[in-house]
Amino acid sequence: MRFNRNVSFDDMKENISEKIVRHCGRRILKLFYRFPVSTNPIKFTKMELVDDEEMETMVALYYGNQSDQNAPIQLFVELAGVEPTEDPTLLGEEHGAQEP
């Protein structure tokens, strides 16, 4: 997904959330990114995004001193767990579902 740098945190989270719900039916618990803190050895720190100020910080960290202003920022999400309530095979049999 691509976003305008000026997108609000809430709008971006909502767009990502809608896409995830459509594909796997789960919701976002946390939205974060990794930022490199050293190169020898390579180490990253995980930064959680919680508001517009954090979004501005993320953009400043990635693009503040880079010549490639179009490089993508990789975002990661922590998804809410989904606990099965019934065996899906049995549920399908109870409701007369048939294999195609």
Q: What is the pLDDT of residue 82?
A: 57
pLDDT tens-digit readout, 41-56: 888 888 899 999 998 8
Looking up tokens 């954090």, which residue turns up?
Answer: 54
Q: What is the pLDDT of residue 31?
A: 92
Q: What is the pLDDT of residue 90?
A: 46
**Helices first, then strands: H and E counts in the chain:** 3, 3
Q: Where are the domains of the chain?
A: 9-94
**Which residues in the chain show pLDDT less than 70?**
65-71, 82-100
Q: What is the pLDDT of residue 69?
A: 63
**pTM score:** 0.64
Q: What is the pLDDT of residue 100?
A: 44
Distances (CA, A) of 36 to 24, 52, 58: 30, 21, 12
